[in-house]
Amino acid sequence: MKWPKSRDEVWQVNIPHTHLAHEKSDQNWMVVKGDKIVFPGGGTHFHYGADKYIALLANIQFALERGIPAYLGVLGTKRLPYPSRSFEFAHCSRCRIDWLQRDGILLLELDRLLRPGGYFAYSSPEAYAQDEEDLRIWKEMSALVERMCWKIAAKKNQTVIWVKPLTNDCYLKREPGTRPPLCRSDDDPDAVWGVPMEACITPYSERECSDFRFTCAENQRDEGSGLAPWPSRLTTPPPRLADFGISTDMFEKDMVNNVCEAFSTYPRTYDLLHAWTVFSDVEKKGCSGQDLLIEMDRILRPTGFIIVRDRKPVIDFIKRHLTALHWESVAVEDAEPNSDSEDGEMVFVIQKKMWLIDESGKDSA
């Protein structure tokens, strides 16, 4: 069975387990057809496959084009690449995550990411179904969030919204030995690159609960954790950045050190990518330049631009992959026209073309 046909169907003898097909027969995840198992995709929302939906509406791109500041994260064993208190709202809609596994470690990672007074919206059968298993999960999850000091802000039909506490008061009133415990005092909640998740609650520091104008409890609900009022908040760095010694140099260092990893963002997120000696840095770290090109293509919107400043061998390397990536050369110039050095840098401007795959699996520009 050749590609791309093999993407959507497999021989049944290779996967002799049809339980999922029977259990999810109304959701179109996998269907037994004769001697094959096919994967239409789309679940309960997109019965004719997610590709048909994306081609027509492209909802993710639609949202990002309108400036909705949302991110998609995959919860596993490592912390998500965001510092603590980064988000005001998290949403799980039938995300099929086992929040009770490993002492609730995944829910505790969300707790780390939410600001004081932040919300978690949970839409799932456990919130409303009355069968024995769903009731058990709901009971255990309710007990877990109660020990985490979360409270129900609203509950209707299949959705419940929990709100995180504004202060440490509830944490300090818990009985000794209550699990999950508070994190160790030497645990840095803002250390994220490659750091394993911890099954513990990150308490607020005194620094986070006050600034020069507001107390934590007074300021949280309307204006965030020590942040300036709207709209000046958009251009005013959070006060705690200075306390932690955050600088642009640290940010650039982190990006270079982790450029070998996939970037945690939706496809087609960016209009413009700028890579200044990034490919040379990747080469020094022993990572794949081809993998980096593919990742850049993934996160760049069609008709978006890439500016690469690097050595001539790097530029030549990228040129060899333009056709396969459906990229188009716009301009290439010496970065320093008066320089006679053979190792001098060049500036290469590229545009990603708009192209589609037809029903036969062939490219069409």
Q: Where are the domains of the chain?
A: 5-57, 72-204, 252-364
Lowest mean pLDDT among 31-40, 65-74, 89-98, 163-172: 65-74
- Please tell me which residue, 7 or 256, carries the higher pLDDT value: 7
At a CB cut-off of 8 Å and minimum separation 6, what does 32 contact? 12, 18, 21
Fold matches, 72-204 and 252-364: yes
pLDDT tier, 181 (very low <50, low <70, confident <90, very high otherwise): very high
pLDDT at residue number 197: 94
Note the CATH number of domain 72-204.
3.40.50
- Residue 318 Cα to chain centre, angstroms: 27
Mean pLDDT confidence for 315-344: 87
pLDDT attached to residue 213: 35
Q: Could you give the angle at the alpha carbon of 37 between the alpha carbons of 267 and 1, nearest 5°?
A: 75
Which pLDDT score is estimated for 42? 53
256-274: average pLDDT: 77
**Residue 220 confidence (pLDDT):** 40
- What lies within 8 Å, CB to CB, of 73 at 6+ separation is 80, 82, 264
**Confidence at residue 336, expressed as pLDDT on a 0 to 100 scale:** 80
Residue 137 has pLDDT above 80, yes or no: yes
Q: Could you give the CA distance from residue 39 to residue 351 in angstroms, rounded to a whole number?
A: 34
Model confidence at 95, pLDDT cuts 50, 70, 90, reads: confident
Q: Decide if 168 contacts 210 (C-beta within 8 A).
A: no
Q: Which pLDDT score is estimated for 227?
A: 67
Q: Are 154 and 123 in contact (CB under 8 A)?
A: no
**Section 303-318 average pLDDT:** 94
Judge whether residue 103 has pLDDT over 60.
Answer: yes
Q: What is the pLDDT of residue 151?
A: 96
Asked whether the bond before 180 is cis by omega within 30 degrees of 0, the reply is yes
Mean local confidence (pLDDT), 267-279: 89
Out of 3.30.1370.160, 2.30.130.10, 3.40.50.150, 3.40.50.720, select the CATH number for domain 252-364. 3.40.50.150
Q: Is the pLDDT of residue 145 over 60?
A: yes
Phi, psi of 251 (to 5 degrees): -65, -45
Mean pLDDT of 344-364: 81
Mean pLDDT of the chain: 79
Whether 136 has a pLDDT exceeding 80, the answer reads yes
Whole-number pLDDT of residue 285: 81
With a cut of 90, say whether residue 142 has pLDDT above it. yes
- Whole-prediction pTM: 0.54
Least confident window among 133-137, 325-329, 355-359 = 355-359
Residue 70, pLDDT > 50, answer yes
pLDDT band at 20 (very low <50, low <70, confident <90, very high): low
Q: Which of 210-214, 274-278, 309-313 has the lowest mean pLDDT?
A: 210-214
Mean pLDDT confidence for 294-313: 93
**pLDDT for the residue numbered 215:** 38
